[in-house]
Amino acid sequence: MPLEPIPLNDGNKIPSIAYGTGSKMKFHDITQYIEQAIETGFSHIDTAVFYKTEKFVGRAIKESGLARSELFVTTKYFGEVPVQKSVRESLKNLGLHYLDLYLIHQPRIIPNLYSVILRLTVYCDTDYIVGLRSIGVSNVVDVQQLENLIKFSRIKPAVNQIRLHPYNYHDMKPVMDACAKHNIVVEAYSSLSPITTYPGGPVDVPVKAAAQRIGATPTQVIFLWVKAKGAVIVTTTTTKAHMEEYLAVADLSSLTKEEVIAIDTAGAQGPPSDIVTKLRATNTKEKILVALVVMMFGVYGLSMFGRMCQ
């Protein structure tokens, strides 16, 4: 049973989980992984001009044989060429007549931002024959910037895609609250950072406890946490087993209010330091070597301090 789609403020709906083509996939031919994702059950594919993966997404969509209406495709404008030209190029690269969602990738670096958004409205077609169904932004984490976008733009963004995980939730909460106030859906990428980037931190404890209660993996618990925040999951992997694991979140029980609060509270403590994280990731021999180096520097430091005190 798939995750329920989330309504957007423009009347459209967005699937609750997306297969992303950024991260380590950027600049590579990833056709086989996109085909595998679609075959496994992903209906929402997220790409971007900057990723240089649009042509591969288009190839995979064509090979899937699915009707256009069965897929939700997102791409992003990076500002290297005029936006009208970029839209046309993206549609050509993807082999599509319309895009379900078009995001401004980094609004902060786009000259004449409000003018760009105004031009995008030309491509909004109520019949979806050509152009864009929904318009949004990515990486808008400053509340005032979001408020200005809403104030001066003709169309209110339907989506704001941001980096979101338990360790940065405290920092992201103000902009998430602003999005909620304006009925803007948040999309969350890099949500698995507590597992992939900051293992061994305080978030591990409540995540493990929730995983044991509902019979899930820590990865699935993080995605359930994202779901509890009302956000769309944007994730990626190259293995079918992980794809199936991600989609299986739809069949799991929701986290309790107490479990969500426990993860929030642990995340507010911050991730483990880079040194601790890297040390945990090393093997036993490397750990011993690091310990010896630290001891040598410690002895040397004490020796120098003793000479200075003589």
Q: Which residues are catalytic?
A: 51, 105
List of residues 6+ apart from 21 with CB closer than 8 A: 30, 34, 45, 46, 47, 48, 51, 53, 56, 57, 236
**Coarse DSSP helix, strand, coil percentages of the chain, rounded to the nearest 5 percent:** 50, 15, 35
Cα gap 78→20, rounded to integer Å? 16
- Asked if 67 and 73 count as a contact pair (C-beta separation under 8 A), the reply is no
Could you give the 3-state DSSP secondary structure of residue 150?
helix
Cα gap 3→34, rounded to integer Å? 19
For residue 130, the 8-state DSSP code is S
Cα gap 51→77, rounded to integer Å? 11
Helix axis angle for 240-247 and 218-228, nearest 10°, is 40
| 140 CB neighbour count, 10 Å cutoff | 24
Nearest to 69 by CA among 148, 15, 137, 3: 15
Could you give the 3-state DSSP secondary structure of residue 187?
strand
Phi-psi region of 67 (alpha: psi -120 to 50; beta: other; left: phi over 0): beta
Cα gap 44→70, rounded to integer Å? 9
List of residues 6+ apart from 32 with CB closer than 8 A: none
- At 75, phi and psi to the nearest 5? -135, 175
